[in-house]
Structure 1
Amino acid sequence: MIRPITLISLILLGFGAGVLSTNLFSTGHETSKLMTDEEKKPLYWVAPMDSNYRRDSPGKSPMGMDLVPVYEEDDSLSVGTIKISPEVINNLGVRTIKVAKASLHDAIKTVGYVQYDEDSLLHIHPRVEGWIETLYVKAAGDPVQANTPLYTLYSPELVNAQEEFLIAINRNNQALINASKARLQALQLSPSFIEKLAVERKVKQSITFYTPQSGVIDGLQVREGFYVKPGTTLMSIGQLDTVWVEAEVFERDAAKIHLEQPVTMTLDYLPGRSWEGKVNYIYPTVEAKTRTLRVRLKFANPDLALKPNMFAAVQIHTSSTQQHLIVPKEAVIRTGSQDRVVLAKGDGRFKSVEVQLGLWGKTHVEILNGLVEGDEIVTSAQFLIDSESSKTSDFKRMEGSANALWIAGEIRQLDTENRVATIKHDAVPDWGWPEMTMDFNLDEGVDINQLAVGQSLHFEATKQQDGSLRVTGIHVMGMVEKTYPSAKVGGVINSIDIANRTLNISRDAIEKWDRPAATMDFLVADDIDMNTLSPNMPIQFRFEIRDDFVVVEITPQQSHSSH
């Protein structure tokens, strides 16, 4: 940390001697030394959660919390607050910005490889056995046009199929004509070839097959003279009007990837150019060795500049439609053990406060706790100010009771009609709240459709002018797995009510709860088959205490003895 005399020397060197006095920074710690020994007396006491509840002496609020003293306003600086003259603020180049809510934008940078668009990749197989007599393409990568010769095949099976067709024509048997014609079509002979055969009535020993689509040859597996059969892949024909790019992203970024997200791609050997595409497919598994998620991207390639197996740099542009409380990255001071910002409190007063960071974007970072919307923070020269403020700062956002705080909690009930959420929340030291469950009204800006019973979340609770509380922001964390107190014990079934799924059981004592043996009714969980149970049956069972006592496991026993 920069000591006071060192900081003053640095500023004097930067802006000239005489600009600043030795009273550059005034701190709350120094001001407290000037106070008289006479202790200030509170004007009155108020309830932490209801400023309208006032008393002339200490006591308890209606909710059982200690009343908070309220003192007369004075001009002294609070702990950790420093004051700087306007001239010094100008010379330091202090800039500030209002904390606001906005969506986060980011770009995931990674690499990928260009591939054929497999939706249009066509594999060529023969339907019969035979020999390649003529091959019209010579190498992989050769361009081909649709309906041009691809290869010539001699196959005894094709010869026989032609002869059967001509025999059917000579006999003028329409059923045989139709059957033999269908066979020729199934063997991939074109309609024009079949029509010509019917007119000329001359069997061809070798038949030429044509390219079904335009493109380029990929994976050429045969040469002239090869013997082939239906299981042989002769070649593939790929199209390059559109291409796929296989990319990988780290596991931590997997949740940010969605279909149809925009993507930008560049190639080192084609400088100055970029291609715009989108996320076409997200693979369902993470690679075990690299812990990366494969993502397939799709790009238009009208000038065929993109070739299969090219190496590319890609940026997947992510954005969240949800509004977050965000600040510029450069405003955050990261120390390794603490994240903080410098809060501008007006009239030249500044204070370092601790913040809890959330999602990181390209230029901004989400604030989960420590700031509220509308706060003003320092974005330049904050390190100089922080070096002085942090000496005495308690790093709390405000020295009094903040009007709005971010709190962690769990939704227990949700009244969508009246926009009320019952939330079990953590303790709130700034407001003197213990951990408890209470009702909160939801602000109109909060999307109630995002909420569900059982969710864990961070929520912004804001005190209204009438003393009520309102949830003005939410950050859903996930669902909380529900657990219930349970015990495993032996017993005997006395009676069974299948219609109401109820058992009357004489159970043994429960030692861990210090409960004696008792006879009582238990509900039975839906996944237990009650038809396997009978009266007077000894059992070992486990039950949970929910709204009722619910049997969740049950095992018949040979005999039973009370403990």
Structure 2
Amino acid sequence: MMSSAIKTLCTALIGIAIGGLSALLFMEGQPLSDKEATPEGEKKPLYWVAPMDANYRRDQPGKSPMGMDLVPVYDEPQGQDEFGPGVVKIASHMVNNLGVRTATVKRGSLQASISTVGYVQYDEHKLVHIHPRVDGWVDNLYVKAIGDEVEQGQALYDLYSPELVNAQKEMLVALKQSDKQLIDAARKRLRALKMSVDFIEQLIKTKQVRQTVTFYTPQSGVVENLKIREGYYVQPGTTMMSIGKLDQVWVEAEVFERQAAVIKPGLPVTMELDYLPGKSWLGKVDYVYPSLDAQNRTLRVRLKFDNPGLILKPNMFARVDIEADPILEVLTVPASAVIRTGAQNRVVLALGGGQFKSIEVEIGRINDTAIEVVSGLTEGEEVVTSAQFLIDSESSKTSDFKRMQFVERPKSVWMQGEVNSVMVQHREVNITHEPVEAWDWPTMTMNFNVAKAVEIETLKSGQRLHFEVTEQDAGGYEVTGIHIVAQAKIPTATVKGVINHIDQKGRILNISREAIDKWKRPAATMDFVVAGELEFKEFKVGDEISFTFEVRDDLIIVAMQAADDEQAHDSHAHH
């Protein structure tokens, strides 16, 4: 009786420890004051929960569906200010009682081993299909069943065919006429009809036509796909049988889409079969098929194994482990630390001081013992590897599943943008800059002060810049460094015109030019300055020319030639 009572009491205590975790999330080490120890000074519970089912809640005390007293849950501080919502705190003795264990997030190599299943198949590169070359009837069949073993050169079947008889007669006619050309042609025809060399030599020697011809196996192996019997009528399109070799076999397997990136030919493979427990075969990845199965979202992989003793048989079920190349320098956690659901992967982060929080992580490749963490954790952090489901059930009620990261805002950042205008006198520049992640800025157009150390004269409208911006203590932002990525684009046009006046000393030409369609400019007469590198003495008033000019402070001619010239002279080019 006493033993039964003790067992009942122990069961109740364990139920309270597991199911009533939320009731035990309190700050440890703070003794109750006299007021708090009295019933009048007790805090009012938020609700009551069942010890064995934290989802069973009531607004007042009572019994759980299992007949156990409901446990009160109080509003206790959970450290949300420091680590965000969803943080739970557990007393140290409860951490031990619940069997909470943690592991360190490590950076290192991950051996990606892919386990899957497959089926043994013939090596199709060594699978030979037997077809007749003529119409005829099978008189004798020397192999009787699928699976019969045959040796190279062994007789397979006898075939009667009028076409084979006629081909033999043509050889005899050629021999009788002693026509070497006809003999060669007859010999080639007999070989094309798959008659053996011995058969042809015997025909030439005996000069006797045979009504049936025996055909032989081209390789050793086993008979597969036998579709004829004695007396069958066959045609050239008939697949009579196949001969497969089993000294090497293929295994057709499938891997999931997320594992496809690490699969490549040559990887080592270990295979086991149910019918020979304890025995394994070593092989390699022979071929990776180029497309995925549209329905299963899996990738077919062909594996190759040596088959001494011909133990491996086609269509045997096999379990295979593909050893992919190790992934170097990745963050990993024990596989038991990750809570994987259909919509989210998360871990319980141990924050120290008995505090825990469920956070979302993005996982990568997986093996039997470890999982790659792509984002959500940093090296050296602690994650829970046992009893994390109990903590997660409480933390996930309010957690935002985000880790709090306090990153100090940098004083200066480099950004990219394009100069719109420069106000030299005010030492200001208007720039349209790209997004700035460090300051959480979107793309914006704004004015910046320009520091005295920056040569503002080098800034021009249209330039692409990589520039440093520093936040000023008194407010505002100042450009403190510049790298010119690309100079401002200079508007350029090529057009035809007639020279009206030439000023050789001032290097000015007055030209009546045609309309410029790309700028939507009508025809006009205006002065152009000839670039200093350009020679133009050979041109005279009234000449029709084709010229290229740039729009700077003046209109600068950088290339010109006579309008009727088909090719520009080197002396007219501007480099």
Sort the TM-score into its range (normalised by shorter chain).
0.5 to 0.7
List per-residue Cα deviations over 1:287-318 (Å, max 9, x = no partner): 44545444333332222222223333444444
Tell me by how many angstroms 1:180 deviates.
1.9
List per-residue Cα deviations over 1:506-555 (Å, max 9, x = no partner): 79xxxxxxxxxx669xxxxxxxxxxxxxxxxxxxxxxxxxxxxxxxxxxx
Query: What is residue 304 of structure 1 aligned with on the other side?
Result: 310
The 2-side partners of 1:388 and 1:128 are apart by 80
The 2-side partners of 1:359 and 1:108 are apart by 16
Task: Give the direction of change, closer, same or farther, for the CA distance of 1:335–1:222 in structure 2 (3 Å limit).
Answer: closer
Query: What is residue 190 of structure 2 aligned with on the other side?
Result: 184
Q: Give 1:24's aligned amino acid.
A: E
Query: What is residue 103 of structure 1 aligned with on the other side?
Result: 110
Query: What is residue 455 of structure 1 aligned with on the other side?
Result: none
List per-residue Cα deviations over 1:192-244 (Å, max 9, x = no partner): 22223333333333221111111111122222222323222221111122222
Query: What is residue 285 of structure 2 aligned with on the other side?
Result: 279
The 1-side partners of 2:341 and 2:301 are apart by 35
Residue 5 (structure 2) pairs with residue 24 (structure 1): no
Which runs of no fewer than 5 residues in structure 2 stay unpaired? 1-12, 19-23, 31-80, 410-415, 418-432, 445-493, 497-514, 523-575
Normalised TM-score (structure 2): 0.52
Tell me by how many angstroms 1:355 deviates.
4.1
List per-residue Cα deviations over 1:104-127 (Å, max 9, x = no partner): 5142434x3332221111111122
Q: Check whether the contact 2:110–2:372 (CA below 8 A) recurs between aligned residues.
A: no
List per-residue Cα deviations over 1:38-75 (Å, max 9, x = no partner): xxxxxxxxxxxxxxxxxxxxxxxxxxxxxxxxxxxxxx
The 2-side partners of 1:79 and 1:160 are apart by 95
Query: What is residue 143 of structure 1 aligned with on the other side?
Result: 149
Normalised TM-score (structure 1): 0.53
125-134 or 241-250, which deviates more: 241-250
Alignment of 1:179-258 (within 5 A): 179-251=185-257, 253-258=259-264
Q: Check whether the contact 2:112–2:327 (CA below 8 A) recurs between aligned residues.
A: no
The 2-side partners of 1:358 and 1:495 are apart by 62
Q: How many residues align?
A: 363
Q: Check whether the contact 2:95–2:354 (CA below 8 A) recurs between aligned residues.
A: no
Q: Check whether the contact 1:98–1:374 (CA below 8 A) recurs between aligned residues.
A: yes
Higher-Rg structure is 2
The 2-side partners of 1:251 and 1:179 are apart by 57
Task: Give the direction of change, closer, same or farther, for the CA distance of 1:389–1:318 in structure 2 (3 Å limit).
Answer: same
The 1-side partners of 2:111 and 2:521 are apart by 59
Task: Give the direction of change, closer, same or farther, for the CA distance of 1:172–1:96 in structure 2 (3 Å limit).
Answer: same
The 2-side partners of 1:113 and 1:335 are apart by 31
**Correspondence for 1:352 among 351, 357, 364:** 357
Give secondary structure in 2 for the equivalent of 1:119. Answer: helix
Q: Give 2:362's aligned amino acid.
A: L
Give secondary structure in 1 for the equivalent of 2:331. Answer: strand
Q: Give 2:180's aligned amino acid.
A: Q
Alignment of 1:71-470 (within 5 A): 78-79=82-83, 94-103=101-110, 105-110=112-117, 112-251=118-257, 253-319=259-325, 321=327, 323-333=329-339, 340-343=346-349, 351-352=356-357, 354-362=359-367, 363-380=369-386, 397=403, 400-401=406-407, 427=437, 433-434=440-441
List per-residue Cα deviations over 1:164-184 (Å, max 9, x = no partner): 323333433322222222222
Tell me by how many angstroms 1:386 deviates.
6.8
Q: Give 1:96's aligned amino acid.
A: A
Q: Check whether the contact 1:341–1:353 (CA below 8 A) recurs between aligned residues.
A: yes
Identical columns (%): 50
Which runs of no fewer than 5 residues in structure 1 stay unpaired? 1-8, 15-19, 27-76, 404-410, 413-422, 438-493, 497-502, 508-517, 521-563
Q: Give 1:109's aligned amino acid.
A: T
Q: Check whether the contact 1:79–1:392 (CA below 8 A) recurs between aligned residues.
A: no
Q: Give 1:194's aligned amino acid.
A: I
Task: Give the direction of change, closer, same or farther, for the CA distance of 1:200–1:331 in structure 2 (3 Å limit).
Answer: same
List per-residue Cα deviations over 1:19-40 (Å, max 9, x = no partner): x9x86378xxxxxxxxxxxxxx
Q: Check whether the contact 2:152–2:220 (CA below 8 A) recurs between aligned residues.
A: yes
CA RMSD of aligned residues (A): 4.6
The 1-side partners of 2:284 and 2:343 are apart by 39
Q: Check whether the contact 1:350–1:389 (CA below 8 A) recurs between aligned residues.
A: no
Task: Give the direction of change, closer, same or farther, for the CA distance of 1:282–1:13 in structure 2 (3 Å limit).
Answer: closer
Query: What is residue 452 of structure 1 aligned with on the other side?
Result: none
